[in-house]
DNA sequence: CCCTATAATGCTCAGATAGAGCATAAATGG
DNA sequence: CCATTTATGCTCTATCTGAGCATTATAGGG
């Protein structure tokens, strides 16, 4: 809806502010690509729709890496960016997207631009979409994969992830120690300090929303495969294995990181968590879903106090019996909360392990 | 920095996911426009850089309305969207932008598309930029204007704005009452409820971050000039005057609304407020700046407790004497707070009127 | 049928935070 | 020296948050 009111710049206006650039632009062929991180929660696992190009002969070019679904935006066929996205996701994946949110637009010409690219320039726009689990079986193309497959260090549901202690921390500390070589004036914050803030080294807090910051730091330190692929080997000689999470094509892991960070932030002030739930659920099922998204586990009693107290849910009157213990009341999302609170969401402060 | 790692889609990949759309896209000429809401705070007034096309003969086409500066993005000349933006702002306006943040990308073909547009399709990307006041005098092109000129209902610094009571509320209530005519299935929330949540009718809370929601509601109700201009007169016969804020060209007022909402949200968890301050300042000057941004006024004692307690500032040791009363200690931004807190910002909850 | 394990649910308590307001200090301008 | 104005220090209370103890209600196995 936010896009409905835009149209092309009239020629006069462009001329008035910057005439000469107009020509340049005309010469370059430009395309828009839409990338979607389509998220669901399946059996308490946060999953994302992945496409592979296994059947392509030139698959080796990217080492057959996983990728997010994407498609070009055709201004002829679609009125808005979002409707374009919905259309090809429906057609290709057979998914009827519910909640859709724009993440970020990226310009072209990343690190590979120097290597003599030809062809059209592409501006890609990343989207986050939330899908109810009920549609998952009907997915026509692509497969669902846990997002922690790509970001194992983000999964704190069983305590601090092993990979942090055994792999990431030592490599980051080594990277931070190398700093004296070439102090980068564009980086006013020291390597160690950034690593500390992102990964909670030495007692600093772990902020579950800083997913993108952590990925970017690992990239910059040359610790993720994509960095090596993009020509960053020079950053340091690190063991190739174990890998720090599964790599993805192009910058798709970066887009996924953005998406995860956005959902994690959003469920705290918007009731988007219910996009990922069935219509009726127990409070503990809701908690498991929130934990799947946020990473850490939550205090059960406080969680229900919070959710009920905020008026986010209401009991249906039914109970679910096969819980393994006392039967649990069933709840549903209470839509009226939208009319009562300015920013309704699951305001949890994931405490600690 | 977030854009550095993207490059064009290789042809194989595009072919593999949706071959046929490729052609369509090729046929349509596509351009990218960058719009910037460049914000500063000048004498306790939040101002935004405005360009006019007074000297154009065809200025009447848009009724000589104010607009945000914009320029096309040339993928040939610039590596990233943001660097493109910085370049033409520097060149045209003579401003060296500090903090820059992407807001939103809009597709083309809004309501005017049906009227037989020709020419290139444009995808426009909105940006928010914060500029220190020290640069303001050197601005080469454009002028600075209070953002409350365009959004008078957002200025709660002297209590609830008169225009809300005298103009907006009655018109919204009338609009809400008309609803029976054509219940819109795409609008599950009733007109009255939306108006109530956005504008705090009948005791509902005023959320200073919902700037865009309020503007969009007014647009939908046909109460802002842009709506009439875009062919929405049918929505209702409203008095033309007084206008609800000054209109802007195209969707620029929408972009500005997005920018205001973003800054208002951001200063609460990032220390961006200091981008708008001189290097040294009194706590009251800081408070005035925060109030300029947020709209409402704040409790003075609690504000200083908050800001000092959060470690956001540190005293310089100097005092400022000509305050009109007791001299005030001077403070500066304490950069170390970035290394201490995961989300440092001015966590004010603007209480009341 | 009783006992045990497992959840669900109810409740309490202490520490931290936020909103308001009172009180005091230190300038400026008669 | 006084009135005015602003800066600054402090207190008090209602709420919220994090943690943990206690009780209730099922299922399953002697």
pLDDT tens digits, B38-60:
999 999 999 999 998 654 444 44
Instruction: Give the integer Cα–Cα distance in Å for B271 and A265.
Output: 18
Name the band, by pLDDT with cuts 50, 70 and 90, for residue A112.
very low
- Yes or no: say if A62 and A249 are a contact pair by the CB < 8 Å rule: yes
Burial category of A180 from C-beta neighbours within 10 Å (exposed 0-12, middle 13-18, buried 19 and up): exposed
CB contact under 8 A, A9 and B122: yes
**A79-88 average pLDDT score:** 93
Query: How far out from the chain centre does Cα A98 lie?
Result: 17
By C-alpha to C1' distance, C5 is nearest to A325
By C-alpha to C1' distance, C11 is nearest to A301
- Yes or no: say if A209 and A259 are a contact pair by the CB < 8 Å rule: no
What Å value separates CA B301 and C1' C21? 10
| Better pLDDT: B28 or B221 | B221
Average predicted confidence (pLDDT) for chain A: 83
DSSP assignment of A101-126? EEEEEE-S--GGGGGT--S-EEEEEE
Q: Is A190 on the interface with B (CB under 8 A)?
A: no
User: What is the predicted pLDDT for the residue at A293?
Assistant: 97
Closest-CA residue to B179 (of B235, B219, B223, B244): B235
- Yes or no: say if B231 and B217 are a contact pair by the CB < 8 Å rule: no
Reply yes or no: is the peptide bond before residue A242 cis, omega within 30 of 0. yes
Per-residue pLDDT at B137 exceeds 80: no
Q: In chain C, which nucleotides are within 7 Å of a protein Cβ?
A: 5-12, 18-23, 25-28
Closest-CA residue to A226 (of A167, A165, A150): A150
Put simply, the chain B residues between 259 and 318 with a CB less than 8 A from any chain A CB are: none
**A301-317 average pLDDT score:** 95
Q: Which of A75, A77, A254 sits opposite B30 (nearest CB)?
A: A75
Average predicted confidence (pLDDT) for chain B: 83
The pairing of beta strand B121-130 with beta strand B30-42: parallel
Q: Which residue of chain A comes nearest to B88, CA vs CA?
A: A18
Residues of A in contact with B205 (CB under 8 A): 342
**A179-188 average pLDDT score:** 60
Closest-CA residue to B132 (of B255, B272, B257, B265): B272
User: What is the predicted pLDDT for the residue at A135?
Assistant: 75
Q: How far is B337 from chain A (nearest CA, A)?
A: 11
Supply B85's token pair: 């933006």
CB contact under 8 A, B207 and A11: no
Q: Is A13 helix (H, G, I), strand (E, B) or coil?
A: helix
Read off the pLDDT of residues A197-216 as tens digits, 9 standing for 90 and up: 999 999 889 999 999 999 99
Read off the pLDDT of residues B70-101 as tens digits, 9 standing for 90 and up: 899 988 888 899 999 999 999 888 888 999 99
The pTM of this model reads 0.88
Could you list the beta-strand ranges (E) of chain A. Answer: 30-42, 45-50, 70-72, 99-106, 121-130, 143-146, 281-282, 313-320, 328-333
| Better pLDDT: A27 or A350 | A350
Task: Give the CA dihedral A256, A259, A265, A267, nearest 10 degrees.
Answer: -120
Supply B126's token pair: 């909105």
CB contact under 8 A, B21 and A251: no
- Yes or no: say if A48 and A129 are a contact pair by the CB < 8 Å rule: no
Helices (H), chain B: 11-17, 19-27, 81-93, 162-163, 169-177, 191-199, 211-220, 225-229, 252-266, 283-294, 300-309, 337-340
The b/e string for B28-64 (b: 16+ C-beta within 10 A; e otherwise) is eebbbbbbbbbbbbeeebbbbbbbbbeeeeebeebee
Q: Which residue of chain B comes nearest to A212, CA vs CA?
A: B2
Q: How far is A341 from chain B (nearest CA, A)?
A: 8
Query: How far out from the chain centre does Cα B234 lie?
Result: 28
**A177-191 average pLDDT score:** 69
CA–C1' nearest nucleotide, residue B283: D7
């Amino acid at each position: 809806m936010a896009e409905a009111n835009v149209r092309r710049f009239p020629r006069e206006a462009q001329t008035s502010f910057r005439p000469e650039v107009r020509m340049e632009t005309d010469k370059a062929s430009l395309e828009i690509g839409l990338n979607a991180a389509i998220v669901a929660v399946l059996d308490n696992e946060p999953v994302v729709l992945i496409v592979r190009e296994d059947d392509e002969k030139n698959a080796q070019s990217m080492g057959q890496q996983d990728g997010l679904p994407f498609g070009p935006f055709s201004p002829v066929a679609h009125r808005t960016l979002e409707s374009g996205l919905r259309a090809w996701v429906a057609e290709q994946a057979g998914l009827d997207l519910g909640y859709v949110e724009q993440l970020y637009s990226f310009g072209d010409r990343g690190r590979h631009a120097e290597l003599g690219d030809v062809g059209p320039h592409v501006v890609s726009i990343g989207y986050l979409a939330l899908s109810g689990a009920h549609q998952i079986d009907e997915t026509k193309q692509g497969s669902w994969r846990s997002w922690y497959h790509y970001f194992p260090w983000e999964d704190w549901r069983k305590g601090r992830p092993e990979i942090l202690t055994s792999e990431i921390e030592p490599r980051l500390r080594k990277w931070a120690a190398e700093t004296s070589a070439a102090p980068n004036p564009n980086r006013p914050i020291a390597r160690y300090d950034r690593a500390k803030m992102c990964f909670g080294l030495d007692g600093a807090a772990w902020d579950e929303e800083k997913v993108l910051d952590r990925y970017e730091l690992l990239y910059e330190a040359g610790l993720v495969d994509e960095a090596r692929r993009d020509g960053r080997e020079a950053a340091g000689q690190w063991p190739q294995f174990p890998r720090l999470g599964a790599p993805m094509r192009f910058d798709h892991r970066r887009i996924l990181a953005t998406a995860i960070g956005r959902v994690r932030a959003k469920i705290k002030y918007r009731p988007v968590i219910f996009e990922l739930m069935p219509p009726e659920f127990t409070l503990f099922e809701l908690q498991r879903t929130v934990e799947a998204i946020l990473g850490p586990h939550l205090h059960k009693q406080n969680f229900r106090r919070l959710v009920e107290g905020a008026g986010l849910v209401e009991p249906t009157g039914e109970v679910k019996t096969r819980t393994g213990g006392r039967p649990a009341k069933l709840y549903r999302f209470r839509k009226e909360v939208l009319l009562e609170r300015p920013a309704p969401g699951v305001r949890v402060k994931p405490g600690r392990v």
